[in-house]
Amino acid sequence: MIELPDEATGVVLSSQLLTEPGADNIRVVEVTRDYGMYDRREAPQYYPDKSRNV
């Protein structure tokens, strides 16, 4: 997995990678969820909230 600054860079990189021998397919994805163990606002809602014991 490679983190890129924008979608256009991903498209350019994927076209370059497809010229490599053995590269069958390239996927360009965007991760829309970013959450941790305690901050679960964007997490799938079917998991219960975790309490933090400090």
**What residue ranges do the domains of the chain occupy?**
1-54
What pTM does this model have?
Answer: 0.39
Distance CA 26, CA 12 (A): 11
* pLDDT tens for each residue of 16-50: 877 878 777 777 777 776 666 777 676 666 766 77
> Residue 2 above 70 pLDDT?
yes
pLDDT of 43 reads 64
pLDDT the model gives residue 34: 65
Q: What is the pLDDT of residue 27?
A: 74
Q: Give the HSE-up count for residue 30: Cα atoms under 13 Å, Cβ half-sphere.
A: 8
Interacting residues of 47 by C-beta distance below 8 A, sequence separation 6+: 40
